[in-house]
Amino acid sequence: MNSLVFPGQGSQFPGMGREVYESRADIKEMMNSANDILGFNIIDIMFNGNEEQLKQTKVTQPAVFIHSIAVAKTIENARIEMVAGHSLGELSALVGNGVLSFENGLKLVYERALAMQEACRETPSSMAAIIGLADEVVEAVCKEISTENNLVVPANYNCPGQLVISGNTKAVEKACEILKEKGAKRAMLLSVSGAFHSPLMQSAQDRLEEVIKKTKFNTPSVPIYQNYTSKAVTNTEEIKNNLVKQMTSPVNWTQIVRNMISDNCLVFTETGPGKVLQGLIKKIDDSVVVSSLSN
């Protein structure tokens, strides 16, 4: 079976999308429509902006989404039987399997980005990548040092030996120190604006839930493996519920990939900027075929 997988925040780069923009008139029209939907010239920022401009959450998330959907439109005559997306990429995947229109998907992405950016302003928070330790070790340290007002939790289960943690900055820094002592090859703070996929995103989750309730969700053409449950979903109400809960819950990417393989997925095509997912999938199971479409 063949699948499409869509990257999340962090895969952006200056000049992203220019090649696919020039490839077809319908793609150019779709990408240009994003400027009107968002109310600012995001395509100009994608093509001509610098790294700092692209790092702003309210720019990054729509830019990655637009690029991903544009690239997905270039795929022809391939039988796609399942989709998944990493964090933000879940919204791209929901356009990929017909649940959301491009316009509604982009509006949700922008609302998500603004809500997350606002939540980040409320409290000093951050994320860190922990490399080279078993998940159980990282989970135990997070549980041990977390308090109600200074928490740190597992946020992204990216692949075996790579787990991102998220929470209040002081708790994240303390966890990094302890995890280095326990043998982590690396425990490094990430250049993100806040504690994504943690309880500190509750206000963003509440805001996004209101918008999701009002958005039209169609019946999917193929199952989506969602971050919250890591399992195949086709029921639209369940998809909505999982999309809401994703905001404050971990991205279970390792388990998603394993479940897709268990359901006979043999070919993964990364659809969007960069090749991050390609590398993660090979680390999860190097027996599958992985390719990348990034224009």
Residue among 3, 11, 68, 87 flagged as catalytic: 87
Model confidence at 294: pLDDT above 80: no
Instruction: Measure the CA angle with vertex 246, ends 242 and 250; round to 5°.
Output: 125
pLDDT for residue 293: 81
Eight-state DSSP code of residue 201: G
Q: What is the pLDDT of residue 191?
A: 80
Q: How far is CA 103 from the centre of its chain?
A: 18
**Beta strands across the sheet bearing 152-159:** 152-159, 162-168, 125-131, 186-189
Residues 35-72 pLDDT 10s: 999 999 999 999 999 998 998 889 999 999 999 999 99
Tens digit of each residue's pLDDT (9 = 90 or more) over 171-188: 999 999 999 999 999 999
Pick from 117, 119, 121, 120: nearest CA to 109: 117
Phi, psi of 251 (to 5 degrees): -85, 110
Choose, from 67, 125, 126, 197, the residue flagged as catalytic: 197
* pTM over cut 0.85: yes
CATH for 122-189 is: 3.30.70.250
Residue type, 182: K
Integer Cα distance of 11 and 61 in angstroms: 10
Q: What is the DSSP string of 128-173?
A: EEEESS-HHHHHHHHHHH-BTTB-EEEEEEEETTEEEEEEEHHHHH
Please write the tens of the pLDDT for every residue from 150-161: 999 999 999 999
Q: Which of the following CATH numbers is that of domain 2-120+199-293: 3.50.50.60, 3.40.50.720, 3.40.366.10, 2.10.10.90?
A: 3.40.366.10
- Name 287's Cβ contacts closer than 8 Å, sequence gap at least 6: none
Which pLDDT band, with edges at 50, 70 and 90, does 295 fall under?
A: low
The 10s digit of each residue's pLDDT in 218-245 is 999 999 999 999 999 999 999 999 999 9
Token pair listed for 184 = 């982590």
The percent of residues above 70 in pLDDT, for the chain, comes to 99
Tell me if residue 228 falls in helix, strand or coil: coil
Compute the distance between CA of residue 47 and CA of residue 30 in angstroms, rounded to an integer. 15
Instruction: List where CATH 3.30.70.250 sits in the chain.
Output: 122-189
d(CA 218, CA 29): 23
Using CB atoms within 10 A of its CB, is residue 170 exposed (0-12), middle (13-18) or buried (19+)?
A: middle
Q: What angle do CA 248, 251, 257 make, to 5 degrees?
A: 160
Which pLDDT tens digit goes with each residue over 107-163? Answer: 999 999 999 999 988 888 999 999 999 999 999 999 999 998 999 999 999 999 999
For 185-197, the pLDDT digits (tens) are 999 999 887 899 9
Predicted confidence at residue 110, as pLDDT, reads: 97
197 as an active site residue: the answer is: yes
Q: Is 87 a catalytic residue?
A: yes
Residues of the chain with CATH 3.40.366.10: 2-120+199-293
222 phi, psi to nearest 5 deg: -145, 160
